[in-house]
Homo-oligomer: A and B are copies of this chain.
Amino acid sequence: MTRDDALALDAADPLAPLRAQFTLPPGLVYLDGNSLGPCPAAAPARLRQVLEQEWAQGLISSWNQAGWIDLPRRVGDKIARLVGAGAGELVVADSTSVNLYKVLSAALGMAAAASPRRRVIVTERGNFPTDLYIAQSLAAEHGCELRLAGPPGEIAAALDEHSAVLLLTQVDYRSGRLHDMAALSAAAQAAGALTVWDLAHSAGALPVALHRDGADFAVGCGYKYLNGGPGAPAFVWVHPRHADQARQPLAGWLGHAAPFDFAPAYAPAPGIGRFVCGTPPILSLAALECGVDTVLAAEPLGGLAALRAKSLALTRLFIERAARLAPALALATPLEEARRGAQVSLSHPEIGWPVMQALIARGVVGDFRAGAPGQPDILRFGFAPLYTRFVDAWDAAAHLGQVLAHEEWRRPEFARRQAVT
């Protein structure tokens, strides 16, 4: 295969026009959409409308007349289409961390009500820190045990009659490993445990099927594959068979059954509405809607199934080229495609940071993550199929090869400094 072959793949790619939905710096190979999706071309005009018309001219009336009050549900319904949930089941609210606190609290409460023996939260040792921290906090608060399972194959064995909740992130932020949601949800259900799925690295990147795959609760991130902007609000989903029973402790006024009655006693809204807490950040929410729309724009072209096929082809190409050109780096992402998200992670015990800095200096943006305890550091390359081209995968591998071949990473300007997700 040659670079021209990569260009030919792009020319033949029916999804290629979707890239025009974004403003991307010319010449940059942006492979960090798993950390911050790019800016939708529609977002600046939409924000201008929100500021100059809805806020500046409409003022307080825009809560009703511009539909601000409905935005958490309206954007939630759009995200629901991307994760296999129904309309009215999912809302945009708060951050992923805050939403995790809500759903994990609710799940622990339901488990305790079903059986006082169920006092164990099972999760993965390598789960994203905020998932671990929120679970630690709630375990302490509820007098529960937090059980950390090791490799994916050992998770099901960690479930037993004491399990309250299985808390998993569908795609691992370090390795890009994709869990089998159906199998793990079934294992949890067989053990009598509820499942909480964090979709931060899967929503918008690949088909997620919350109903089909037996999930009970889910949260997800707006600013990665949903392209919602830096710190975009997150989302929360609760299976409708639980939503009317689930109690979450962040009992804010907008989660009330009748918030505009200003009643003195809290009465949770029916369904997912009770998982809203305070007033939603409209500017950030409006940008998130633009981002979600960029993913929905793929629906006439095959939607997430087509995007998934493309991201697998992109990661396959990058894995093959990187193995050839950068053999000093180990593949940390599963080769088996059914177990791979939209990201390729390469690892090295020592030079991960300067290699990534040298790549960025060449105009190839991935990112660096410190290794899990006892594990080597990770270089992450996200292949968001909405806007990443085959020639980007080709060029990224070529630049990586050059960085290593010429030992560019040894340059002093690539010495260590802080990373940001």
Interface residues of A (CB under 8 A from B): 23-25, 28, 30, 32, 35-36, 38-39, 43-44, 47-48, 51-52, 54-57, 59-64, 68-69, 94-98, 101, 125, 128-130, 132-134, 136-138, 141, 148, 223, 229-234, 249-254, 256, 259-266, 277-285, 287, 360, 365, 367, 369-370, 372-373, 418-421
With beta carbons under 8 angstroms apart, the residue of B32, B55, B281, B418 that contacts A64 is B418
Chain B residues positioned under 8 Å from A128 (CB to CB): 253
Q: Which residue of B lies closest to A101 (CB)?
A: B250
Closest 6 CB pairs of A and B: A95-B278, A97-B252, A97-B278, A63-B420, A39-B56, A130-B253
Chain B residues positioned under 8 Å from A134 (CB to CB): 250-252
- B98 A264 Cβ-Cβ under 8 A: no
- Contacts known (A52-B23, A234-B278, A278-B96); A59 close to B36, Cβ less than 8 A: yes
- A260 B418 Cβ-Cβ under 8 A: yes
A and B contact pairs by CB, cutoff 8 A, 28 listed? A23-B52, A28-B59, A36-B55, A39-B52, A43-B51, A48-B48, A51-B287, A60-B365, A63-B230, A68-B230, A94-B98, A97-B277, A98-B277, A129-B256, A129-B262, A130-B278, A133-B266, A134-B251, A136-B251, A137-B249, A137-B266, A148-B264, A231-B278, A279-B421, A281-B283, A281-B284, A282-B284, A283-B283
- B283 A133 Cβ-Cβ under 8 A: no
With beta carbons under 8 angstroms apart, the residue of B23, B223, B252, B283 that contacts A230 is B283
